[in-house]
A and B are shown apart, each in its own frame.
Chain A
Amino acid sequence: MLTSADLDTLLLTFKVASIATALMLLLGTPLAWWLARTHSAWKGIINAVVAMPLVLPPTVLGFYLLVLMGPAGPVGQFTNWLGLGTLPFTFPGVVIASVLYSMPFVVQPLQAAFTTIGEQPLEAAATLRASPLDTFFSVVLPLAKPGFLTATILGFAHTVGEFGVVLMVGGNIPDKTRVVSVQIYNHVEAMEYGQAHWLAGCLLAFSFTVLLVLYTVLKTQPVTHQLK
């Protein structure tokens, strides 16, 4: 059976994943939009940087974050200067690490969706008096909905399953940074296979439910938009 410590890790995991997904959508949307439309020479570089976590082993990325966010690292010195202390071993630290690590899973589907929309609907909107910002909300967002759906699901799922980075940056502190993937790993390492099975089963069931809801609810929503 699940212990209360196991339940705590489940709860914490979904808290991390929800907040991280919201942040990724917030930051990833303008980034993906820029990447989809720019002809800047920076495009290739930024694309590569965003995709880095796909290539880097999570523990390596985690180690670099540990260095960057630590008291000697530039980010750590900045957060110290702000009076926030350093980020490793804290809940915000884990969220930030998750955001960086799962970002390509949010940015890439969005970028693809924006690219698919193309220039034409934007030009049509401009000739119908819609400013660029207006166009983004009234035309781009509804047209890119499948992309947002994919981005949300992938971002969330990947954060839930994410392990190596959190292990590195989190320090395995109950209720603060001990997420479910770390807990399962610990159970397996400690040869507590029964508990590992239970927790993994719960994780599977919960994730499946969340994804199912996202897919069905968001997909079946009618596309008609009533304008007055």
Chain B
Amino acid sequence: MSAYAALTRATYVAGVRDKTTLFFTFAFPLAFLVLFGLIFQGQQVKGGLSSINYIAPGVLSWGVGNASVFSVGFALMQWRRDDLLRLIWRTPTPLRTLIASRWTVAVAAALVQTVLFTAVALLPFFGLKLTGPWWAVLPLLVLGVTAFLALGLIVGSVANTPEAVAAIANILMVPMAFLSGSFFPDDLMPGWLRTVAKVLPLHYLNDGVTDAMGGRGGLGDIWLDCAGLAVFALVFGLIAVRIFRWSNRP
């Protein structure tokens, strides 16, 4: 078994055995989807699309981003605190193998989330119809997971305690979810707020997924969103590399 395969397996097994992670990755966003689906059921947003075409992609992109940031942030903080990073440092396995294994598991989790949430939203009761180029969700998800994973690495490097990870990640993700239109169509927001949202990675993920799944925009818009996510992935990745620490001691 290669080091990459072993780490991927270890990450997967640890994830599956952690009921809290499973809950916040799958059940919690699903509850949001159902809740918002019920609140806005049957309402139409200007442009003629049903509100579920906004809610399902919104909750999906928020769920994917949230899961990536939290899982990696907690893991990195704990690994450094418990000296597990030191243990890995002593082996010939490079750090990129570790990150690659986490990335693989995060992408796989995002795919499962996508299938699950889409399947629920497609139920006649909620009434989502995939009219757009839905397959374009794939590159969006991969880039989105990369960007949020890098953000999670930053959070995990800054924070030294579980409380700090939760606090920092929540401060980043909760306002971002609201401003990026994950919980309600961002067309409802005043214009200046939508301008502010353009500096948020979740905005691009949300925008792209809504275009692809909800059928709001065309491929041109989606590529633009992909480019935006790639830029964020690059910037966050560079910052994460800069501030990475092997140990909590100075």
Does chain A bind chain B? no
Chain A residues engaging chain B, CB cutoff 8 angstroms: none
Chain B residues engaging chain A, CB cutoff 8 angstroms: none
